[in-house]
């Protein structure tokens, strides 16, 4: 297991699912971890008690609250930007405010969080954005707006990798495919359809994504930057 002893780590959107697995992984590696949550107060409290991490209430759609939460952590070694929302459906019928909130959380928040983290981040730090394989492929109807937000992450990490590279700071996206979580359970109504697109016909488990995040954040990830690290069982193959 990669040793993160003494490292200052912040996970944005860390109370459940992929985010909680990432909190657990870095805490198990010895890091000092804080994570944000918006609506899952009880889950956040349980995770904080389990791991010793600090739970911070901050809605990623609120730019000022998000920036304050990042700034409060001081000189970060690793920031993982996981908070995200999913809105699917007929674009002619979807609520415009729901789409705008998704853009706020999935696009604007990662940009502002990454920039604020970099202001005081230690040299050779790590910025990781949890994107989606849907940034590469949207094989079913109803996902245009969601795919737009995840494709935007690709441009974000490529550009910021150039901007922060002189300080040895890496910027990468991890792109999961179908992942076993409350949002998309392995036995959910869409599972069979999703598995039909995959080479390995099962959902990814959150801990598998957390291990990839730890690799990218560790010493072996020093020359991985501006990249899309896809973990999707061949969904986009």
Q: Which pTM value belongs to this model? A: 0.95
Residue reference for tokens 């070694």: 77
Predicted confidence at residue 237, as pLDDT, reads 87
Predicted confidence at residue 1, as pLDDT, reads 61
- Both tokens assigned to 105: 């959380």
List, edge to edge, every strand of the sheet that includes 54-57.
54-57, 32-37, 8-12, 78-81, 126-130, 170-176, 228-231
- Both tokens assigned to 171: 């910027």
207 φ/ψ angles, rounded to the nearest 5 degrees: -65, -30
Per-residue pLDDT of the chain (237 residues; tens, 9 = 90+): 678 999 999 999 999 999 999 999 999 999 999 999 998 889 999 999 999 999 999 999 999 999 999 999 999 999 999 999 999 999 999 999 999 999 999 999 999 999 999 999 999 999 999 999 999 999 889 999 999 999 999 999 999 999 999 999 999 999 999 999 877 888 888 888 889 989 999 999 999 999 999 999 999 999 999 999 999 999 988
**Alpha-carbon distances, residue 148 vs 99, 142, 197 (angstroms):** 11, 12, 20
Residue reference for tokens 């809105």: 87
146 is catalytic: yes
Contact 127, 165 (CB under 8 A): no
**Alpha-carbon distances, residue 126 vs 112, 164, 212 (angstroms):** 15, 10, 13
Catalytic choice (37, 111, 146, 207):
146
Residues ≥6 apart with Cβ < 8 Å to 6: 30, 31, 32
């Amino acid at each position: 297991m990669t040793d993160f002893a003494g490292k200052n780590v912040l996970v944005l959107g860390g109370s459940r699912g992929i985010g909680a697995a990432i909190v657990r992984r870095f805490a198990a590696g010895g890091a000092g971890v804080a994570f944000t949550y918006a609506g899952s107060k009880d889950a956040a409290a349980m995770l904080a008690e389990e791991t010793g991490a600090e739970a911070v209430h901050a809605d990623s759609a609120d730019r000022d609250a998000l920036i304050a939460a990042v700034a409060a952590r001081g000189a970060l070694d690793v920031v993982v930007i996981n908070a995200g929302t999913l809105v699917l459906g007929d674009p002619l019928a979807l609520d415009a405010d729901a789409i705008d909130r998704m853009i706020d959380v999935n696009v604007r928040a990662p940009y502002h969080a990454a920039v604020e983290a970099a202001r005081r981040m230690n040299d050779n730090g790590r910025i990781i954005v949890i994107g989606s394989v849907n940034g590469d492929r949207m094989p079913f109807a109803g996902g245009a707006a969601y795919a737009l937000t995840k494709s935007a992450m690709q441009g974000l990490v490529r550009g910021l990798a150039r901007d922060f590279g002189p300080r040895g700071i890496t910027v990468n996206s991890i792109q999961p495919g179908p992942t076993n979580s409350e949002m998309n359970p392995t036995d959910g109504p869409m599972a069979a359809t999703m598995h039909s697109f995959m080479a390995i016909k099962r959902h990814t488990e959150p801990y598998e994504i957390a291990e990839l995040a730890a690799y990218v954040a560790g010493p072996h990830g020093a020359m991985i930057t501006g990249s899309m690290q896809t973990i999707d069982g061949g969904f986009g193959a």
